[in-house]
């Protein structure tokens, strides 16, 4: 489920919510949690409706499967057990008090100067105090809103009469998960397995432009039933991050190359009659002193909604895209020019993601001084990647998990491994790539000059200078995490963007 604020209004979300509820949502103010397929699972509604009527419940479950599972738990006596446990378990009571204050504070913030009308002192689901709960649906919604990051950090009202509570839980999300596990069905069994809410999504044409450290990429796609059908998918190497140091400025030449590519792609997207278009900047834009300003200017110049993604947002969206047609326990690896992202979902649907300051362009500029690169330079890249990835093995290591690799480094190596004369997306998508094959490709590429690599059928000329470093990072990551092979996916951040929009 996505982290943090998630504004409503995208046609897909509104269609799905209307299908889930059997009616159009009233006074929707946000989507507080999503299911593993990216569809709304918990919605937030205004505390004072448009007609002035007070609305006592802030958060509602909308996922049909989850609603059914919670109803089954209630029928089995979960409400009575919940109230009894809250009276006797101080940790649970403290956590629920803190969640209630966050809930009340959020309602007060939304109500603003209309607050006297709306019962803002009401607890979750209406009653004051969890020991008086009459059902668990509102509590389930609130717990999910905490674990998704929607309520955590929200402003709180003053504590209820009786004095401020001494209960402050710094690990509230873990407490919420503990409460869920005690009274509600196992999360891994509470979601559908077939993305069934996608049936409410009608056809829509969307486009996304990804401004990365190495390349600018475009996807124009038709979205229907939760599926993504490519209309246009393109990439152009512009090296926005060329010569960039953290906190430094983007070069004028890199800005110009990137701006020209974005302008062409925006015009092409509009020529296909897209319903909406978004532009997202990643690592280079995050790190440059003028990165946000550059992305914002690209948005203004091309009349596009533009945003710089955080590392976590980038990872979440890459995961959404990469797992459209890959099921099971998946670890997604996204090697970019300036950063590398790893993300995995727990059985309960919560995401764990990291973004490392490790990328093909960054490593090339740091280590590679020779052409071809010297063995010591290759070793330096490998050891740096190994040091960065080794602490992550307990969270992202092999075993039952399936490693899925996305983005240009991985797809280029897969093309080389397949021996293709021209790049064939269909032949590469979902192809397996072994660690031993990656090692052989690293040795081959490292023995060639940049000019020789640029002549290879699968290597874009602009990617030739950095492909060796990207391949070494891939090899080090696979070997350090204990994966003998990965699945190559042509779906990635762009697909996540057209499905979900920018975070």
- Residue 242 belongs to a domain with what CATH number? 3.30.420.40
Q: How many residues does the chain have?
A: 503
Say which DSSP state 216 is in: E
Q: Compute the distance between CA of residue 304 and CA of residue 488 in angstroms, rounded to an integer.
A: 31
pLDDT the model gives residue 398 = 74
CATH number at residue 438: 3.30.420.150
The residues, ordered by sequence, that sit 6+ positions from 75 with a Cβ below 8 Å of its Cβ are none
Asked if residue 196 is part of any domain, the answer here is no
pLDDT the model gives residue 446 = 95
Partners of residue 351 on adjacent β-strands = 345
* 3-state DSSP assignment of residue 17: helix
Do 360 and 485 belong to one domain?
yes
Q: Compute the distance between CA of residue 26 and CA of residue 297 in angstroms, rounded to an integer.
A: 35
Sign of CA dihedral 119, 125, 130, 132: positive
- No. of H helices and E strands in the chain? 19, 14
Q: What is the residue range of 383's domain?
A: 312-500
Residues 79 and 135 sit within 8 Å (Cβ to Cβ): yes
Q: At what angle do helices 435-446 and 467-481 cross, to 10 degrees?
A: 150
pLDDT the model gives residue 3 = 38
Do 173 and 317 belong to one domain?
no
Do 367 and 468 belong to one domain?
yes
Asked if residue 456 is part of any domain, the answer here is yes
Shortest CA distance to 156 belongs to which of 167, 148, 147, 144? 167
Last residue of some domain: 308, 328, 359?
308
pLDDT the model gives residue 112 = 75
Asked if residue 455 is part of any domain, the answer here is yes
Do 230 and 244 belong to one domain?
yes
Strands, sheet with 215-224, edge to edge from the N-terminal-most edge strand:
227-237, 215-224, 204-211, 276-281, 305-308
Residues 85 and 198 sit within 8 Å (Cβ to Cβ): no
Q: For the chain, percent helix, then strand, then coil, each to nearest 5? A: 45, 20, 35
| DSSP H stretches of helix in 171-302 | 172-183, 252-271, 283-287, 291-302
Last residue of some domain: 140, 156, 189?
189
Do 181 and 234 belong to one domain?
no
Do 292 and 366 belong to one domain?
no
CA distances from 383 to 162, 300, 467, 474, 476 (A): 58, 42, 17, 12, 8
State both tokens at 302: 């091309």
Asked if residue 459 is part of any domain, the answer here is yes
Mean pLDDT by 10 residues, the chain (503 residues): 48 84 86 84 85 81 89 85 82 83 84 59 65 76 86 48 42 80 78 77 84 92 79 90 85 94 95 89 90 94 91 83 83 90 70 85 92 95 96 84 90 94 88 95 95 90 91 96 93 87 59
pLDDT the model gives residue 121 = 63
Q: Compute the distance between CA of residue 213 and CA of residue 239 in angstroms, rounded to an integer.
A: 6
Q: Compute the distance between CA of residue 231 and CA of residue 207 in angstroms, rounded to an integer.
A: 9
Asked if residue 33 is part of any domain, the answer here is yes
Shortest CA distance to 79 belongs to which of 142, 138, 146, 160? 138
Shortest CA distance to 83 belongs to which of 8, 7, 135, 16? 135
pLDDT the model gives residue 154 = 43
What is the total count of domains within the chain? 3
Asked if residue 316 is part of any domain, the answer here is yes
pLDDT the model gives residue 347 = 56
In which region does residue 418 sit, left (phi positive, over 0), alpha (psi from -120 to 50) or beta (all else)? alpha
Say which DSSP state 201 is in: P
Residues 338 and 357 sit within 8 Å (Cβ to Cβ): yes
pLDDT the model gives residue 214 = 85
Q: Distance of alpha carbon 455 from its chain centroid, rounded?
A: 35
Do 59 and 153 belong to one domain?
yes
Do 291 and 333 belong to one domain?
no
Q: Compute the distance between CA of residue 422 and CA of residue 231 in angstroms, rounded to an integer.
A: 20
Do 400 and 439 belong to one domain?
yes
CA geometry: angle 93, 99, 101, nearest 5 deg: 105
Residues 65 and 190 sit within 8 Å (Cβ to Cβ): yes
Shortest CA distance to 361 belongs to which of 250, 448, 491? 250
CA distances from 99 to 96, 141, 146, 175, 430 (A): 5, 11, 8, 10, 42
State both tokens at 141: 């919604």
Do 319 and 436 belong to one domain?
yes
pLDDT the model gives residue 383 = 96
Asked if residue 43 is part of any domain, the answer here is yes
Do 86 and 107 belong to one domain?
yes
In this structure, the number of other CB atoms found within 10 A of the CB of residue 247 comes to: 9
Say which DSSP state 305 is in: E
Q: Compute the distance between CA of residue 407 and CA of residue 38 in angstroms, rounded to an integer.
A: 21
Asked if residue 364 is part of any domain, the answer here is yes
pLDDT the model gives residue 422 = 86
pLDDT the model gives residue 380 = 96
Say which DSSP state 151 is in: S
Last residue of some domain: 286, 308, 330?
308
Do 240 and 349 belong to one domain?
no
């Amino acid at each position: 489920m996505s982290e943090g604020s998630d504004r409503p209004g995208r046609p897909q979300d509104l269609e799905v919510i209307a299908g889930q509820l059997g009616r159009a949502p009233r006074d929707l103010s946000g989507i507080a949690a999503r299911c593993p397929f990216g569809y709304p699972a918990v919605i937030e509604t205004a505390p004072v409706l448009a007609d002035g009527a007070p609305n006592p419940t802030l958060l509602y479950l909308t996922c049909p499967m989850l609603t059914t599972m919670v109803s089954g738990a209630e029928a089995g006596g979960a409400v009575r057990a919940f109230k009894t446990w809250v009276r006797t378990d101080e940790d649970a009571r403290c956590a629920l008090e803190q969640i209630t204050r966050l809930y009340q504070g959020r309602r007060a913030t939304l109500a603003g100067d209309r607050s006297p009308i709306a019962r803002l002192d009401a607890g979750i689901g209406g009653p004051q105090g969890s020991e008086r709960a009459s059902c668990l649906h509102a509590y389930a919604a609130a717990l999910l809103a905490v674990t998704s990051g929607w309520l955590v950090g929200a402003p709180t009202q003053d504590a209820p009469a009786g004095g401020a509570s001494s209960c402050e839980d710094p690990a509230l999300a873990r407490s919420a998960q503990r409460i869920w596990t005690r009274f509600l069905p196992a999360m891994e069994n509470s979601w559908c397995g077939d993305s069934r809410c996608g049936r409410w999504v009608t056809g829509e044409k969307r486009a996304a432009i990804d401004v990365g450290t190495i390349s600018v990429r475009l996807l124009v796609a038709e979205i229907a039933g939760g599926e993504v059908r490519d209309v246009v998918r393109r990439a152009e190497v512009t090296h926005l991050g060329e010569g960039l140091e953290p906190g430094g400025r983007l070069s004028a030449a890199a800005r110009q190359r990137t701006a020209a590519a974005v302008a062409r792609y925006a015009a092409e997207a509009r020529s296909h009659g897209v319903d909406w278009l978004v532009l997202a900047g990643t690592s280079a834009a995050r790190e440059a002193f003028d990165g946000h300003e550059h992305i914002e200017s690209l948005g203004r110049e091309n009349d596009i909604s533009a945003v710089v993604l955080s590392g976590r947002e980038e990872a979440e969206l890459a995961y959404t895209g990469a797992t459209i047609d890959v099921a099971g326990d998946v670890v997604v690896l996204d090697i970019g020019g300036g950063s590398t992202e790893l993300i995995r979902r727990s059985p309960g649907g919560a995401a764990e993601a990291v973004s490392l300051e490790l990328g093909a362009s960054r490593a090339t500029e740091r280590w590679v001084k020779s052409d071809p690169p010297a063995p010591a330079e290759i070793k330096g890249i490998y050891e740096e990647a190994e040091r960065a990835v080794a602490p992550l093995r307990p969270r992202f290591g092999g075993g039952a998990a399936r490693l899925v690799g996305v983005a240009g480094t991985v797809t280029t190596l897969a093309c080389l491994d397949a021996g293709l004369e021209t790049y064939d997306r269909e032949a590469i998508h979902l192809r397996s790539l072994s660690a031993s094959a990656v090692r052989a490709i690293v040795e081959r590429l490292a023995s060639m000059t940049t000019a020789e690599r640029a002549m290879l059928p699968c290597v874009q000329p602009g990617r030739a200078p950095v492909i060796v470093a990207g391949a070494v990072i891939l090899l080090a990551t696979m070997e350090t995490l204990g994966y003998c092979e990965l699945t190559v996916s042509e779906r990635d951040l762009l697909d996540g963007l057209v499905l979900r929009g920018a975070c």
